[in-house]
Amino acid sequence: MNSARELIPDVDNYARMKVYGTPTTSEFYLGQPQGNIYGAKLVPNQVGLNRLGYTTELPNLFLVGASAGYPSVPGVIGNGMNVVELITGESVRKQDTINPDFSQARRNS
């Protein structure tokens, strides 16, 4: 958090929860081999369209995490946003207020 505070001095005012961990923490609590945070192995049959999706055979049960969608922390955040949009039908992504034409062009491409 000290690194974050250097960039955003009042970050503690916005954080509701802080979770710290190491690869050992991930292995113990999440069962991730050697603390792996990237989900399923990134081999050809687990990349792109072959990756596990968000929907399941059970209604209203969605998967989100490093094995469903894209791996890594930013990937998981994006996965969560995708599932919210899938469920609600509404965009949760911030609109580009600096250049709205660029934002609109990105959505239409």
Does pTM top 0.95 for this prediction?
no
Run of H or E including 85: helix 73-88
Q: List Cα–Cα distances, 88 to 36, 69, 82, in angstroms.
A: 31, 18, 10
Q: What pLDDT does 51 receive?
A: 78
Q: Give 10-residue mean pLDDT values along the chain (109 residues).
A: 81 79 78 69 76 85 81 82 90 70 53
Residues 27 and 33: beta-carbon distance below 8 Å: yes
**Annotated domain spans of the chain:** 1-36, 38-109
Q: What pLDDT does 36 receive?
A: 67
